[in-house]
Structure 1
Amino acid sequence: MATETQEGFLNICRHEQNRRSIADVTGFLKRRMNFFFFSFSGTNRKFYHWEAPPSKNVFQNIFSRSTLARCHADLFVGGELNICYNAVDRHVENGRGDQVAIIYDSPVTNTKEKITYKELLEQVSKLADVMVKHGVKKGDRVVIYMPMIPQTVYCMLACARIGAIHSLIFGGFASKELSVRIDHAKPKLIVTASFGVEPKRKVEYISLLEAALARVESKPDKVLVYQRLNLGHVPLTKGRDLDWEEELAKAQYSKCVSVASDHPLYILYTSGTTGLPKGVVRPTGGYAVMLNWTMSAVYGLKPGEVWWAASDLGWVVGHSYICYGPLLHGNTTVLYEGKPVGTPDAGAYFRVLAEHEVAAFFTSPTAIRAIRQQDPEAALGKQYSLKRFRTMFVAGEHCDVDTLEWSKRVFKVPVLDHWWQTESGSAITASCIGLGNSTTPPPGQAGKPVPGYNVMILDENKKPVKAKTLGNIVVKLPLPPGAFSGLWENQETFQKLYFQKFPGYYDTMDAGYMDEDGYLYVLSRADDVINVAGHRISAGAIEECILFHPAVADCAVVGQEDPLKGHVPFALCVLREGIKTQESKILKEIVERVRTNIGPVAAFQKGMFVRQLPKTRSGKIPRSALSALISGKPYKITPTIEDASVFKHIEELIKKN
């Protein structure tokens, strides 16, 4: 344990590092680049390797040419690298080929597999050769429509190996939305699997893809199909489809292709926009730098340790912290094809943590609430020994204090909330435990700004607000390495959506506040702040109050139109298993709690109890659709919703009431 004097010194150091990263961006980026890309000559590849080093004056005058009006400084100009080489080949060349790179754990197919770095290199290099032989070259797009299996990671790395730009689309995505993304990306090749597996059903990817291709104008030259023979066999389309195993049997080792540091690594489409699809573009060099740094600085890992991000490869967490981040850092990454509950039960996460000796773990608050709802005392987890497990991280949505404290109690490790976005690619605020940050920060916070991020809270008049005042969370430009560089073929939306409202800042479109010590409290999306008779009330703050009630497992608060106040908060609540108390009594207690903790100004009086909440596959609540539904207006169901039937269930309850 650090003494009070030592802790005080560490706090000064942490504050100073972040202060310097903001005050001296040039120096900060130089230090970070030199730390990661130690070998510019290419003769010593123990550390990161550049095929061509960035120019020495890369960081000079980065604020010239009105840089503050742009989102980025000019980063790593002239540098060339290959991220696949740094994530795979480099470890093999340094004698770590026999280390396990990927642990594949699939309770839905009863499959477990360990893939070493040497085996990973063989699979990736051969797959890259298959792509090249069928005409894929640097800059071409490859759409990956795959489930949570090792072959999906192979595809991502194979694309990076040859400089192709991958666009990974969530497996099982609906045909209409899939077709829109295919048409926008215009892929040379599509890679898919025969089937995916959900807890209670098999998903036929080929039929979904065929329906999507029937809609598109930009058809791919070829479709590479991985047959999951344990789930069945699907016929291939002659002249278009390629069989994965047959192609790899003929393939040879393929060398890496160097790309410029700003070369797009991938396009990741996000939902919730109108018009052109919103495809986030990730530049290679800055992303590699940031990810490698965060594995140690934010998550406190050493190379060789086991890391598990319980997400999906189709989301940004999967890109950053199932695939690229842990492999760049030389860790073992767990690839889990299952759910927090139902595969087979609420003890699944405990089993994976124990069996694979996971050191650090990343999940969402939604997953934790699902476990708690089915197993309130985590009885199923008590049979497992988590001897190597030391830290748990949550992100993806606001984590209420009650859920956080429950997690600490049952997992018996520090549980740290942190905040980031698809656009950032990694944490914007966090407790950087590798830098000595506290593992017991104040409840409800999401960390302090990660070095390189100058986070501020502004009001609607673009003015900074006082501590603990709700406002718009923004980041002063330029953005650090790793952040997105644009939207694919949609730069007009890029500028308008993110930089127009607050000139000189990146608009996160989230709402929250900072305390006097610099901790950020993210409460909700900015458009989820409910205007009640002129008072701005955070939906997240009301949810926090409600979730403290012992009978409530989950909840969502949205604005319901009101003729007098404009809008009033309306709560949809899910009860824990086995609750016998009358719903009317629970609602009354909830209303009183909100009144006591937030005040009468919230005007919270209405709510209903539902069997489950509609959520996207990444755990987010579609608030705008719910608000429209509660207000009796037409609504649109986003294609990423896990179970669209929940909306119909809520509609029926509204009619009954």
Structure 2
Amino acid sequence: MWKPEREHLEESNVAKTLAERGEPLEKFLEYTYTGDFWSWFESHVLGLRWARRYEKVLDLSRGVQWPRWFVGGFLNIGDQVEESAQPLVKWEGEDGSAAEWSYSYVLYKARAVASWLKRAGLRKGDRVAVYMPMVPEIVPVMLGIIRAGGIFVPLFSGFGREAIRIRLEDSEARFVFASDVSYRRGREVDMLAELEAGLAKSVEAVVLHARARERKDYVDLGEVFRTGGDYVEVTEAEDPMMLIYTSGTTGKPKATVHVHGGFPIKAAADVYFHFDLKRGETLTWVTDMGWMMGPWLVFSAYLLRGSMAFFEGAPDYPKDRVWKFVERFKVKVLGMAATLTRHLRTIGAEPGEGAGELKAFGNTGEPIDAESWWWLHKAGRGRAPIINYSGGTEISGGILGCYVVKPIKPTSFNGPSPGTKAAVFTEDGKPAPPGVEGELVVLSVWPGMTRGFWRDPQRYLETYWSKWPGVWAHGDAAVVDEDGYFYIVGRADDTLKVAGKRLGPAEVEGVLNSHPAVAESAVVGKPDPLKGEVPVAFVVLKQGFQPSEELKRELAALAEKALGKAYGALEEIYFVKELPKTRNAKIMRRVIRAILLGKSPGDLSALENPTAVEEIKKAIGRQ
């Protein structure tokens, strides 16, 4: 296992905190489950600037499902830094171009964005979507929206038109900031065409980051930056400042609601205590702003007065790009999904000298395999810990992580993240004995909890709070060993994790079902050595249509076009006459997946049509 050295035991953020408090890690973690901890953290570590200080740290009068934090406090998280020449953003393009933007420069642009939005008629609480790749401009755009009192709605830069349309319509975004193109693997990707095809009626103005060519029919982002201004909206700690969409097992994608006094503070706490980021150090996570780790990267580096480094384009173009990037920008913390780590290892992208200067690796998105864990261990010369980190968009960071004052077993989590009292429950709602698989739960409340799903509070309650009274059931299958180390073993529900990104089957099914030949479909996940999981579709055709390879290609292309290659690429499509369903017409995806993987489908007593099981077996050749 990885073992801490003297610097970890004496100089790390968590070590110094434990020394100041005169208590062991386990006792300190108990303290993080209280409101007192979060009051201490925001004031003594972050030094947040309050327009009016809060009267009460935590209010649970509406129950644990709906906590209110920093009650009565006025806080705008987009207005938290002073001007400084220190770099906030470090960036690299796929062609090798680079940029470094100071705190002062980012702040100047963020102020301009906020002022322009206010002049354009933005009202407090209006939604503003952002559809841009990982370019430096995305940071002041994000902070400017929040500074103006708007609600930032990040969209994955690889989304296709249908995925864009659904999210714009659901959020009723009034403004969209977008790039006309992105660059990946030496190709120019036309993002504007996808946006134009997916625009919702609610959108009143598009602000365009024109990179390839001038467009007079849109507001120019460069002009917005040049308008200047210093507007900042007065907002409360509980005012929404961001909606991030995450897919569920049924229905449309759900927007998690995050507030000024929530997500950013939780993200910063995790980075401070897990990843040991200190003032002026550089944090990198290979991600996109449309996924949770994008805003997480921005908020944590920004509030901890560090630097964030990110790049546009593919991390394996060329294959050693990640390692050269680490060396070029003197990165101290490098975070990647296990999928990417496995891929780099597979293609022989051996870490360079810069990897040895890292103080920590981060892994998130899905469980990391032992071989990849040891590969990173070697890359960091045995000194840099691999901080396994798992939580979610609804959490604002981690439920589980690793602390550098304690040994780390390969692929494990050596403790709960700050504020999240984690446990593993069996189906009877009791703690699972060591070595017994159960469901990961949280028995505390914390500022980063989503404030429900956008305009759908009942769905939020059903998703996380309906399994056991007063317990957050997260949907991850997990195990705790005899030493108290946690391990994630997969998803407890039907949600897929494709390359570390959550994908709801209903999102893909909706696209497939829009084809005139398709009556209905079901999508399940199949394990993949590179991506962790890949989507497989089972399709029922309408009367008069026949299965064919041509139709299969049509459906695959439809999914890719609507959802994007990274998101909607189907591994396989099988045609069947019927899908297994319950009496209330719910498709039994767990049954389909079990058959696909050659496992027992379990109890089939709830099936209305048991013959559908034979249909699935026949389609995949298991009869």
Question: Which category describes the TM-score, using the shorter chain as reference length?
Answer: 0.7 to 0.9
Query: Are 1:415 and 2:386 matched, yes or no?
Result: yes
Tell me which residue corresponds to 1:74.
Answer: 68
CA distance in 1, matches of 2:131, 2:142: 11
Whole-angstrom distance in 1 between the partners of 2:7 and 2:270:
26
- Work out which of the residue numbers 309, 315, 338 in structure 2 matches 1:340: 315
Aligned ranges for residues 179-218 of structure 1 at < 5 Å?
A: 179-213=165-199, 216=200, 218=201
How far is the alpha carbon of 1:257 from its aligned partner?
1.7
The alpha carbon displacement at 1:306 in A equals 1.3
CA distance, structure 2, for counterparts of residue 127 and residue 336 of structure 1: 23
Determine the structure 2 residue equivalent to 1:557. none
Rounded Cα–Cα distance in structure 2 between residues aligned with 1:2 and 1:328 = 27
Aligned to 1:357: 330
Cα distance in 2 for residues equivalent to 1:282 and 1:243: 29
Matching residue of 1:318: 294
Q: How many angstroms apart in 1 are the aligned matches of 2:169 and 2:29?
A: 42
**Higher relative contact order (Cα pairs below 8 Å, separated by 6+ residues):** 2
Change (3 A) 1:236 1:172: farther
TM-score, scaled to structure 2: 0.77
CA RMSD, aligned part only?
3.2
Report the CA distance between 1:627 and its aligned residue: 7.9
Q: Are residues 1:17 and 2:28 paired?
A: yes
Does residue 233 of the first structure (1) align with residue 213 of the second (2)?
Answer: yes
Indicate the SS of the match to 1:522: strand
Is 1:299 the equivalent of 2:275? yes
What is residue 399 of structure 1 aligned with on the other side? Answer: 368
- Compute the displacement of 1:54 (Å): 0.3
Give matches, 1:52-67, under 5 Å.
52-55=52-55, 57-59=56-58, 62-63=59-60, 65=61, 67=63
Q: Secondary structure at the match of 2:69?
A: coil
Partner letter of residue 344 of structure 1? P
Work out whether 1:289 is the aligned partner of 2:265: yes
Matched position secondary structure for 2:433: coil
Q: Which amino acid aligns with 1:331?
A: G
Structure 1 649/498 Cα, relative in aligned 2: closer, same or farther at 3 Å? closer
Cα pair distance change 1:640/1:174, threshold 3 Å: closer
Aligned match of 2:341: 368
For residue 456 of structure 2, the aligned residue among 490, 504, 507 is 490
User: Are residue 626 (structure 1) and residue 536 (structure 2) matched?
Assistant: yes
Mapped partners of 1:325, 1:29: distance in 2 = 15
SS of match in other structure, 1:84: coil
Change (3 A) 1:258 1:338: same
Q: Does 1:451 align with 2:418?
A: yes
Q: Which secondary structure does the structure 2 equivalent of 1:136 belong to?
A: coil
Q: How many Å apart are 1:573 and its aligned residue?
A: 5.8
3-state DSSP class of the match of 1:445? coil
Matched, 1:524 2:490: yes
Match of 2:566 in 1: 642
- Matched residue type, 1:71: Q
Q: What residue is the counterpart of 1:426 in the other structure?
A: 397
**Residue in 2 aligned with 1:330?**
305
2:82 maps to 91
Aligned residue number for residue 32 of structure 1: 41
**Equivalent of 1:220 in 189, 194, 203:** 203
Unaligned runs of 5+ in 2: 496-523, 540-546, 576-618
Instruction: Name the CA distance, whole Å, in 2 between partners of 1:506 and 1:169.
Output: 27
1:130 aligns with 2:116: yes
Alignment partner of 2:458: what SS?
helix
Give the Cα separation in 2 of the matches to 1:291 and 1:313.
Answer: 15
Separation in structure 2 between the aligned mates of residue 407 and residue 226 of structure 1, nearest angstrom: 37
2:151 corresponds to which of 165, 171, 174: 165
Q: Which moved more, 1:299-308 or 1:449-458?
A: 449-458
> CA separation in 2, counterparts of 1:627 and 1:517?
41
Q: How far apart in 2 are the matches of 1:82 and 1:324?
A: 13
Q: Aligned AA for 1:490?
A: D
| Residues 514-523 or 270-279, more deviating | 270-279
C-alpha distance in 2 between matches for 1:273 and 1:475: 21
Does residue 102 in structure 1 map to residue 79 in structure 2? no
Matches within 5 A, 1:584-599: none
Distance change in 2, residues 1:504/1:643 (3 Å): closer
- CA drift at 1:527: 2.9
> Hey, what's the Cα distance between the residues in 2 that align with 1:3 and 1:386?
18
When residues 208 and 400 of structure 1 are mapped into structure 2, their CA distance, relative to the original with a 3 A threshold, is same
Deviation, 1:53, is 0.2
Q: Is the 8 A contact 2:68 2:238 kept in 1?
A: no
Of 166, 172, 177, which residue of structure 1 is paired with 2:163?
177
Partner of 2:566: helix, strand, or coil? coil
* Cα distance change on mapping 1:81 and 1:358 into 2, 3 Å: same
Task: Tell me which amino acid in the other structure corresponds to 1:211.
Answer: A
- Cα separation, partners in 2 of 1:4 and 1:36, compared to 1, 3 Å: closer
Match of 1:242 among 193, 196, 219: 219
Shift of 1:307: 1.3
CA distance in 1, matches of 2:225, 2:525: 55
Shift of 1:401: 1.3
- Give the Å deviation of 1:207: 1.1
Distance 1:364 1:247 in 2: 35
Q: Secondary structure at the match of 1:295?
A: helix
1:206-254, Cα deviation, whole Å (9 max, x unpaired) = 11111112xx3x33111111100xxx215443xxx212223433x1222
Cα deviation digits, residues 368-422 of structure 1 (max 9, x gap): 11111110xx44x34x344642211111101111110111113423222121111
Distance 1:387 1:501, change over 3 A: closer
Aligned AA for 1:48? L
Residue matched to 2:49:
49
Structure 1 unpaired stretches of 5+: 38-46, 530-568, 575-612
Structure 2 CA distance for partners of 1:248 and 1:572, relative to 1, 3 Å:
closer
**Alignment match of 1:471 (pick from 438, 445, 449):** 438
1:551-597 superposed Cα distances (whole Å, 9 cap, x missing partner):
xxxxxxxxxxxxxxxxxx997665xxxxxxxxxxxxxxxxxxxxxxx
* 1:265 correspondence with 2:265: no
Q: Distance in 2 between matches of 1:66 and 1:373?
A: 50
Would the aligned equivalents of 2:242 and 2:258 in 1 still touch at CA under 8 Å?
Answer: yes
Listed one character per residue, the Cα deviations across residues 116-138 of structure 1 (whole Å, up to 9, x for unaligned) are 11111111111222212211121
| Residues 244 and 292 in structure 2, CA contact (< 8 A), matched pair in contact too | yes
Structure 2 residue aligned with 1:547: none
Q: Compared with structure 1, are the counterparts of its residues 571 and 422 closer, same or farther at alpha carbon in structure 2 (3 Å cutoff)?
A: closer
**8 Å CA contact retained: 1:36, 1:292:** no
Q: Is the 8 A contact 2:258 2:451 kept in 1?
A: yes
Distance 1:387 1:177, change over 3 A: closer
CA 184–644 in structure 1, closer or farther in 2 if over 3 Å, else same: closer
Counterpart in the other structure of 1:545: none
Instruction: Give, in angstroms, the shift of residue 173 of structure 1.
Output: 0.9
Provide closer, same or farther for how the CA distance between residues 518 and 77 of structure 1 changes in structure 2, counting only shifts above 3 A.
same
Counterpart for residue 606 of structure 1: none
Contact (CA 8 Å) 1:145, 1:192: kept in 2 or not? yes
**Offset at residue 289 of structure 1 (A):** 2.5
- The alignment-based identity, stated in percent, is 22
